[in-house]
Amino acid sequence: MSNQDIFFWGMMLLTLLAVGLAIYRTSVKNNHSERTRRDIRKTLRSMAPLREWRVLEDVSLTGHKGQVFTTDHLVIGPFGVLVLTDIHQRGNYYGELRDAEWVISTGGEAKVETLRVRVPNPIKNNEGFVSALREKLTAAEIYNIQVEALCPITQGQIQVFVTGAASMVVENGKLRETLSRQKYQKDNGVDVAKIAALLEAK
């Protein structure tokens, strides 16, 4: 085997190792993200019984322009409806409040391993879902329902550096505290079962 062949196969092996390592790291991150997202679900479900909440997961609605919006969690209670889209991918989030996408930066500016990826703006997703939800409620002649939206951070390795987003983003570990506020304990006469049935109907 010539030196050229050895070099070629050596480079191929290094490339395969690099690809394998990248896939492994992605798998580990995805598994970690899924675990932390389950923590949000667990928190919501543990709070639901005493408050007469219904908690739905991965609910999709179509807006009047045909665009589909999916929320990670939906809480329906006597207070109204709360839409939650998780911020679950590790890294620092940058962008503007109205941007369609935000940028996630992992690592630091001077680090070789820094990776930047674009992800849909979770706040914009919430807005689209809330709009589609209001349309569905109106079509079903359900009116005067308080609808709010939040974006819970699911793990400690996440920071959001977006001006104006603080009031709509819940810091890691503070979801239970946030949902214990008085406005989520009020009884506004919402028919929880009726709204849940409407959203669960195929």
Kindly report, residue by residue over 7-58, the tens digit of the pLDDT: 666 667 767 665 554 444 444 444 445 666 789 999 999 999 999 999 999 9
For the CA atoms of 117, 122, 127, 130, what is the dihedral angle to 10 degrees? Answer: 130
Instruction: Tell me the pLDDT band of 72, cut-offs 50, 70 and 90.
Output: very high
**What share of the chain in percent tops pLDDT 90?**
68
Angle between helices 122-139 and 192-200 (to 10 degrees): 110
Which pLDDT belongs to residue 105?
Answer: 87
Residues 148 and 126: their CA atoms lie apart, in Å, by 9
Average pLDDT over residues 127-156: 96
Cα distances (angstroms) measured from residue 100 to each of 39, 122, 128? 27, 9, 11
Average pLDDT over residues 88-109: 87
